[in-house]
Structure 1
Amino acid sequence: MGYRNLRSCLDDLEKHGQLKRISTEVDPYLEVGLIQRLVYRNGGPALLFTNVKGTKFPMAGNIFGTMERTRFIFRDALPVIETLVKAKLNPKELLKKPSSLFRLPKGAYNLLPKTVSTGAVTENTCALSDLPQFLSWSMDGGGFITLPLVYTESLEGGYKNSNLGMYRVQISGNDYLPDECGLHYQIHRGIGIHHTQAEQSGEKLRVNVFIGGAPSLTLAAVMPLPEGMPEVSFAGVLGGHRIPFVKHSNMLPMPAESDFVISGTIDPKAVKPEGPFGDHVGYYSLQHDFPVMKVDKVWHRNDAVFPFTSVGRPPQEDTSFGEFIHELTGDLIPAVLPGIKAVHAVDAAGVHPLLLAIGSERYTPYEKLTEPKEILTQANAVLGQGQLSLAKYLFIANHYDDQSLDIHRPEKFLRHMLERVDWRRDLHFQTSVTIDTLDYTGHGLNKGSKVVIAAAGDKVRKLHCDVPENVILPTGFSKPAAVMDGVLVIEGPKCYSERGKADKVIQNFCESIELDRPINEFPLIVIVDDGEFASASIDNFLWVTFTRSNPATDIYGIGSYVDCKHFGCEGALVIDARMKPFHAPALELDAAVERKVMDMAAKGGPLEGLF
């Protein structure tokens, strides 16, 4: 039951027509990543590149490129996980089908990893430079492992005190020595606790980086598991078998069936510049000091395959992870966050920047609901929950206002909000907090702001979709266009504002428009660099608006005021979503590489029919 290693998974995908072998030589510098992204966009198969320039190891990508394939890979485990989730939610449900109880002991048994004396991963060793030097984007700082499973243990040691996370690993470039690699982990990650313990004790932190192996380990590493549930245990449930680990003296355990394991240590004080790296929000994460790992040994099995993914502006392959995780755990949301019906990190907006949530107003059912009450409390709970705390914008609605509301339909959700929101009352800021490490809109690395926008009660306005003919804009602003009902994008002049400072140009824009002007018929106005691009689709609008703005510095309003430290506005809310001088650059394709790859996809070429 379940795949024991990556090779058996790839063989099974190929047997079922879900994998394509590519024997033509391909370059891990830009070519492989672009091919994978194009195949993903076309809903294509998993890819096995058997002739990779500069390395003897084949590379496998797009393994989780469709939801159907992801479900197929974990098909054996789904009934057990469903049973466990139901047991958590409502044990009475299990009594309706007593036969499902028999699945529980087996699932629980597989939670415990097992120790073995030897394994395939210990068959060979190599140098970091022997691994594929994979670069997705032209400004990447060196070769990266993009599906690394980084394993650490607390000072107490043992599986129950372990953390397995997917933190990117840079294996070449910058100032790294041949036996060093950079370990980029972001805030709110479990490894940080272990690193802190090591630093406080003055000891080196031992680290193992697993590559490949059982697919269940890969998914477990990105699961938002409750504290105290080791990822290696959940991998056993996902894989349908106890995960075997090899342990040598004075070393951390290694999955016996991994394709590669990089073993080493981190000196708690040792850092080196890591990056840049073209990241999943659609921009580069820039070069910053991150922990550097001193490599003792790189292990690999005889038939090792190097798995990878290429990220960029969503959707990409990692979108499947998010969707699949939601399928597995979505029903647990009300148990973890009482009153919350659903939460969705919007993929098109870069995931972390924008959360949509549905709460429930239950405080005073004997009164007519005229404003948000309980959902404000629930919003604070959402922003205090794990990686949800990294969000910048949280839109929260009341379930009882429209029980058909769907968090996975952002346009309809935002329309519902804009019909009800009162900008004088319903904006709630946190002006100096942590945000996602990959977000450069704030006032420093990991530093920024948040806003909760809550709406509850009856509709207070009718939304318009036609731009009034008599709209007069201040000098430098042009091309007003309706993206959707109630939302207007306007092209603005180039931004020159300083980090952490309000922009006088946008302030003047708001101050120059009277409240009785027709433009205020649109409750939300977004200032952008390229109006045609931002208004071309709802996905473009979401990406531009929420990846290029920081609530505290980039939210303005027509007829705005501050009363008792509460910001509100009488007219339209204005978001400045222009690129700022301090923002990270957006990802762009290398034209020459794009032409070469497209030529390979022409009729008779090795990539014909893939995209």
Structure 2
Amino acid sequence: MAYKNLRHFIETLEQAGELVRIKTYVDPKLEIAEITDRISKSPDGGKALLFENTGTDFPVLINSMGSYRRMCLALGVRELDDIAGEIEALFKMLSKPKESILDKLSMLPKLGQFASWMPKVTGGKGACQEVVMTNPDLTKLPVLTCWPKDGGPFITLPVIHTKDPLTGTRNVGMYRMQVFEKDMTGMHWHKHKVSAKHFSEYKKLNKKMPVAVVLGGDPVYTYSATAPLPENVDEYMLAGFLRKKKVELVKCITQPEIEVPADADFVIEGYVDPVEDLIWEGPFGDHTGYYSLADWYPRFHVTAITHRKDAVYPSTIVGIPPQEDAWIGKATERIFLAPIKMTLVPEIVDMEMPVEGVFHNLVISQIRKDYPGQAQKVMNAMWGAGQMMFNKILVVTDDGVKINNYLQLAQYVFKNLNPATDIYLSQGPMDVLDHSCSKMGFGGKMCIDGTRKYEEELDTVFQSVPSPATLDTAAIMQQFPEIKGINARLLQQDISCILVAVEKNRPFHIRELNEQLYTLPAVAGVKMILYVEHTVDVNDLASALWRFCNNLDPKRDSFVVRQPTSEGKYLGGIGMDGTLKNKVLDNFERDWPNIIVAADDTIKKVDEKWSALGLGEFLPSPSLKYKHQIYGEEAVVQQ
């Protein structure tokens, strides 16, 4: 389904009972984000919110794709798997041998469909250019400041258009933009992104780089900008395929080399000068649930702002999951399963990216296993595929279990796992937002082979014993006073894993504690121990796993043990250190960011105006749960 504009999408959401209009004034500085955080963490992602009184001429739409149903509405489908099925059918049709003239003629209608999806540049002006700001001023837009330690207000849903200066190939991506002045922002493109490569080419040519930023329009544009497409695939071809209608583009007014969707709500035109000094950008409360630290990035100078007469400013917030971006990630997981299966990993059956893993941190891959070593083959293929190169923890299982049933999945994986032989540690490129890496953008990776094993994959020097059904956690904590909490309940569910909260007080503390715990007879047979810092509630499993995944560098922080048995064999176990790291105890040289929580005064203001918002039963701030876990008022732990 093609939406005519963002207002059309808003009407569809409202008719479906998926939108709440908020007429009370709400400040774009911190208050909108705090309200949205409460709603997005309510069951099924709550509702989309339209803030109609923002102190500017423009309303703010937020959380518009923040549930499975709204994500499907945005993409015009009943189920996200419908898109994957359609892509798979297209792949099969195109790859099928064409033996006769009739076979070839039968392809023509589909080829015509391909042509109808290709973007088209039209003459004249678009609706996105109905109003032209003669003096471009970003302060006239309701740009959100989301979190108290953010470096300033950030544009959070910018669809950023650049072109390769040598080939003219367009790229459409999404990178946050911190507003510094009325006509200048940062441009936070990472070194791995295509726009950063374009910037590098302009730098070689010593030329200013034209850039255009689109806000709004068909929500498919926003999704396509986040999609992990190959560099040579136009994001607007994907958008055309998803909406079943080509995207019509118009040339920018002051940057005519760049074309933008004619039906967008806002277009911010400008340039980046490669010879200009970089600007110190950030911090920013990011999708990991932690502040991403400040760093040097290019300056974007605004030369024009145009917009529709009825423009709506779209935005989102990211932070401690779940948030709206979890559902955007779910769409990518389902849509791109078919291309991965058809081109890279033919044995793949399904894929899952749990919310607690915040996209890259944790990916579960289910395969059809036919031979020994196949999990390792899949590991290498996936870590070499596009944005999957940023994956930190990859769990591979086979078709003996349903991977979206996390309890059954964990039981199956641990049943098949020897932690001393079936966990593979490597290194490679990482997301620059991953704060656990000792070096920015480069760190450890882990693959857990939870598939059933062929005889060739078994190591006979290891003995298998049942894991204990219970642990005397009080006795263990009395023996090791630095342990402030133990969650051993997974053992009762036939999952050989415990979580331990530790107050570290010496170098190599977790490694030594892990060795000591595994010498206890009571711990014999426990395959995995996950360590988090003492402020984490290990009985809140989802929260503890989120903290653990963020803070772990698998290669640096994993400690395999081989405990000898009386039979002359070994018991395998592994401990993994998901605590925060610092220079004194861990020789960690980088700053460590804080988790994201709202300010006390913002929470109080929203509490006081809640009854006037029309959002139903009062929802307390999710930040209250984490207030005791921050490290003080600074956004980072200083080394």
TM-score when scaled to structure 2? 0.83
- Cα 1:495/1:275, change in 2 over 3 Å: farther
- Cα 1:513/1:51, change in 2 over 3 Å: closer
Alignment RMSD, CA only?
3.0
Q: Given the alignment, which residue of 48, 51, 55 partners 2:50?
A: 48
Measure, in 2, the Cα distance between the counterparts of 1:301 and 1:514.
65
- Cα 1:329/1:450, change in 2 over 3 Å: closer
Confirm whether residue 314 of structure 1 aligns to residue 310 of structure 2. Answer: no
Q: What secondary structure is seen at the aligned counterpart in 1 of 2:318?
A: coil
Contact 2:330 2:353 in 1 (8 A): no
Contact 2:84 2:338 in 1 (8 A): no
- Cα 1:105/1:84, change in 2 over 3 Å: farther
Shift of 1:523: 0.9
- Residue in structure 2 matched with residue 170 of structure 1 by the alignment: 178
Measure, in 2, the Cα distance between the counterparts of 1:396 and 1:215.
33
Q: Deviations over 1:91-115 (max 9, x none)?
A: 679x9xx999967633541223232
Contact 2:560 2:574 in 1 (8 A): yes
Shift of 1:153: 0.9
Measure, in 2, the Cα distance between the counterparts of 1:549 and 1:83.
38
Measure, in 2, the Cα distance between the counterparts of 1:377 and 1:46.
42
Give runs of aligned pairs for residues 229-308 of structure 1, distance below 5 A: 229-247=233-251, 248=253, 250-269=256-275, 270-308=277-315
Contact 2:119 2:249 in 1 (8 A): no
Shift of 1:209: 0.8
Q: What secondary structure is seen at the aligned counterpart in 1 of 2:436?
A: coil
Shift of 1:465: 4.1
- Cα 1:610/1:14, change in 2 over 3 Å: farther
Measure, in 1, the Cα distance between the counterparts of 2:10 and 2:335.
23
- Residue in structure 1 matched with residue 426 of structure 2 by the alignment: 430
- Cα 1:233/1:548, change in 2 over 3 Å: same
Give runs of aligned pairs for residues 328-339 of structure 1, distance below 5 A: 328-336=335-343, 337-339=345-347
- Residue in structure 1 matched with residue 196 of structure 2 by the alignment: 192
Could you tell me which amino acid in structure 2 is paired with residue 588 of structure 1?
Answer: V
Shift of 1:259: 1.3
Q: Deviations over 1:335-359 (max 9, x none)?
A: 1323232333322122211121223
Could you tell me which amino acid in structure 2 is paired with residue 204 of structure 1?
Answer: K
- Residue in structure 1 matched with residue 557 of structure 2 by the alignment: 554
Could you tell me which amino acid in structure 2 is paired with residue 138 of structure 1?
Answer: P
- Residue in structure 2 matched with residue 379 of structure 1 by the alignment: 379
Q: What secondary structure is seen at the aligned counterpart in 1 of 2:402?
A: coil
Q: Deviations over 1:521-551 (max 9, x none)?
A: 32111222237612223x1232122111111
Contact 2:418 2:572 in 1 (8 A): no
- Residue in structure 1 matched with residue 629 of structure 2 by the alignment: none
Measure, in 2, the Cα distance between the counterparts of 1:208 and 1:576.
43
- Residue in structure 1 matched with residue 587 of structure 2 by the alignment: none
Measure, in 1, the Cα distance between the counterparts of 2:598 and 2:106.
54
Q: Deviations over 1:180-210 (max 9, x none)?
A: 2111123432212212222222222211111
Contact 1:442 1:448 in 2 (8 A): yes
Confirm whether residue 396 of structure 1 aligns to residue 399 of structure 2. Answer: no
- Cα 1:233/1:488, change in 2 over 3 Å: same
Shift of 1:59: 0.8
Give runs of aligned pairs for residues 385-464 of structure 1, distance below 5 A: 385-399=385-399, 402=400, 404-406=401-403, 408-431=404-427, 433-457=428-452, 460-464=464-468
- The more displaced of 35-44 and 472-481 is 472-481
Q: What secondary structure is seen at the aligned counterpart in 1 of 2:384?
A: coil
Measure, in 2, the Cα distance between the counterparts of 1:183 and 1:477.
44
Aligned-residue sequence identity (percent) comes to 28
Shift of 1:414: 3.0
Q: Deviations over 1:71-110 (max 9, x none)?
A: 12332698787534312145679x9xx9999676335412
Q: What secondary structure is seen at the aligned counterpart in 1 of 2:217?
A: coil
Shift of 1:601: 2.6
TM-score when scaled to structure 1? 0.86
Contact 2:162 2:171 in 1 (8 A): yes
Measure, in 1, the Cα distance between the counterparts of 2:172 and 2:289.
25
Measure, in 2, the Cα distance between the counterparts of 1:414 and 1:29.
42
Query: Runs ≥4 in structure 1, deviation > 6 angstroms?
Result: 76-81, 98-101
- The more displaced of 313-322 and 112-121 is 112-121
Measure, in 2, the Cα distance between the counterparts of 1:62 and 1:100.
40
Q: What secondary structure is seen at the aligned counterpart in 2 of 1:512?
A: helix
Shift of 1:261: 1.2
- Residue in structure 2 matched with residue 580 of structure 1 by the alignment: 581
Contact 2:23 2:613 in 1 (8 A): no
**Alignment gaps of 5+ in structure 1:** 364-371, 497-502, 562-568
Shift of 1:117: 1.0
- Residue in structure 1 matched with residue 624 of structure 2 by the alignment: none
- Cα 1:531/1:556, change in 2 over 3 Å: farther
Confirm whether residue 608 of structure 1 aligns to residue 604 of structure 2. Answer: no
- Residue in structure 1 matched with residue 498 of structure 2 by the alignment: 488
Q: What secondary structure is seen at the aligned counterpart in 1 of 2:119?
A: coil
Contact 1:419 1:461 in 2 (8 A): no
Shift of 1:157: 5.1
**Alignment gaps of 5+ in structure 2:** 459-463, 565-569, 583-590, 620-639
Could you tell me which amino acid in structure 2 is paired with residue 10 of structure 1?
Answer: I
Q: Deviations over 1:243-265 (max 9, x none)?
A: 22221474411222111111111
- Residue in structure 2 matched with residue 353 of structure 1 by the alignment: 361
